Amino acid sequence: MFMRKFFLLPLLVLSLGIAAQQAGVMYVAARSGLSIREKPDASSKVLDKIPYGTKITLISDTLELKNLTTEGIVGYWQKVKYNTKTGYILDSYLFPWPPPKLATVKEMKNYFSQVTLPFGSKLVVKNSTINNYVEMDGWEITKQLYKNGAEWHHYSGYEAGSDAYFLPQFTMEQGFLLLRLIPEFKDVFGEKDEFPTENKTYKKGDVEYTVTVYKQVWEGQVAPYVDRIHIEFSPDASYEFDMYIIDGELVITFGGGV
């Protein structure tokens, strides 16, 4: 598994600012739907419920953006119109792409197939021993580019494998919520897990998880924002997960081996 370790503060600010400044079309990604409220306040009157997967348009508002933290994610109240009602929703649970179809999307590659189409054929690079995996240095890498700019890289090696996914437009927080909706990542983020903001070690059953959270340091000051999450666990084999923003897109890598 590879990891690029080059981060820039402007990219971090951009990725974190997207959720607070988004305009135009977005999609509701909360399983139970989003309440549209009369005012930008969690205690305000609920006007309606916007179902999961609904396409909505954010409306420019002159009011100062107010934030609210839920499940470890800082979200902002955004003005929208739905079913003739105009009110406010929390943008923590909005995606730039339609959310996964829960009945059919089991893996990230299924999700890519739902929202976009391949751009050209897969590129396959391998060495001469990949066909039988007898040699310990046998390996193969396949790469697929998609029309919306997404990418999927798959590595297969001797008793090891990993995948890397590239998602333009997604923030770290949106990536976290997306992974909670896809069963392929259930061992990384459970449905009730919160967005990691600090280092921690914990157990799920007999499996110990080590979570390392990286934050940007700028002129000696640690930013309050997460720019990389690294998770390790070993139920039967050793697994590693990474998620970070680079060059304006979200990168997710996940794999393991014995």
Judge contact between 213 and 197, C-beta under 8 A.
yes
Residue 216 φ then ψ, to 5°: -70, 135
When pLDDT is averaged across residues 12-40 and rounded to a whole number, the result is 73
How many Å apart are CA 184 and CA 199, to the nearest integer?
23
Name the CATH superfamily for 23-95.
SH3 Domains (2.30.30.40)
> Between 215 and 22, whose confidence is greater?
215
Of the ranges 9-13, 83-87, 251-255, which one carries the lowest mean pLDDT score? 9-13
- Take residue 232 and report the two structure tokens written for it: 């390790």
The model carries a pTM of: 0.86
C-alpha dihedral, 142 to 145 to 146 to 150, nearest 10°: 100
Given a cut of 80, is residue 258 above it in pLDDT?
A: no
pLDDT score for 127: 77
Calculate the dihedral angle through the C-alpha atoms of 55, 60, 66, 68, rounding to the nearest 10 degrees. Answer: 10
Residues 226, 234 contacting (CB under 8 angstroms) = no
CA distance 193 to 176: 10
Average pLDDT of the segment spanning 212-236: 85
Residue 9: strand, helix, or coil = helix
Helix, strand, coil in percent for the chain, rounding step 5: 15, 45, 40
**Are β-strands 73-82 and 67-70 bridged in parallel, bridged antiparallel, or unpaired?**
antiparallel
Domain range annotation of the chain? 23-95, 108-257
pLDDT at 19 over 60: no
Q: Buried (b) or exposed (e) across 153-170, using 16+ Cβ within 10 A?
A: bbbbbbeebbbbbbbebb
